[in-house]
Amino acid sequence: MNKTSLYHSKEDTITWFLFDASSKTLGRLSTEVSRILLGKNNVYYVQGQSLNQGVIIINAEKILVTGKKETDKFYYKHSGTPGGLTIETFKELKKRIPTKIIEQSVKGMLPKNSLGRGLFTKLKVYVGSEHPHKAQNPLLIN
């Protein structure tokens, strides 16, 4: 009988990758980040298994979108009470919470289960070029 062997990381350390979001398109950056979080860039990729990879994104306020999405793209949230719907455009949300745009975009590309929720915790998004993860020695991705 044949047995399938899966790769298990011998170390509990996370490999960190650093992305600079300045002058990058939202969708293209999000797909690259989600691929790394899922581990598809690794030769040991197994569907449904986390490979201990984390992503740090800096300069979230400089993310770009194409076309008229800056005024025509809407973000919805509802408080749960009648009449509690709040609608914001991309431009308004970028001014208020620029990190939420990237987080929401990447979260939508991850699996909708406990694996996806676990992978999302390894995404760190920051405004500005400074981040508190210098000790992890992240690899800069262009």
Q: For residue 110, is pLDDT > 90?
A: yes
Domain count, the chain: 1
**Range(s) of the domain holding residue 126:** 15-64+98-141
Flag whether 91 is in a domain.
no
- Please report the pLDDT score of residue 57 as a whole number: 98
In a domain, 54, yes or no: yes
List Cα–Cα distances, 60 to 68, 84, 96, 110, 129, in angstroms.
19, 28, 12, 19, 9
- Residue indicated by tokens 């990879």: 53
pLDDT of residue 28: 97
With bands split at pLDDT 50, 70 and 90, how would you rate the model's confidence at 17?
very high
What rounded mean pLDDT belongs to the chain?
Answer: 93
Q: Could you tell me if residue 108 is inside a domain? A: yes
We report the CATH number of the domain holding residue 107 as: 3.90.1180.10
Please indicate, yes or no, if residue 115 is contained in any of the structural domains. Answer: yes
Model-level pTM?
Answer: 0.90
Q: Is residue 92 a part of any domain in this protein?
A: no
Number of Cβ atoms within 10 Å of the Cβ of 35: 16
Within a domain: 74:
no
Residue 24 has pLDDT above 90, yes or no: yes
In a domain, 87, yes or no: no
Residue 6 has pLDDT above 80, yes or no: no
The tokens for 62 are: 């400089």
Please indicate, yes or no, if residue 79 is contained in any of the structural domains: no
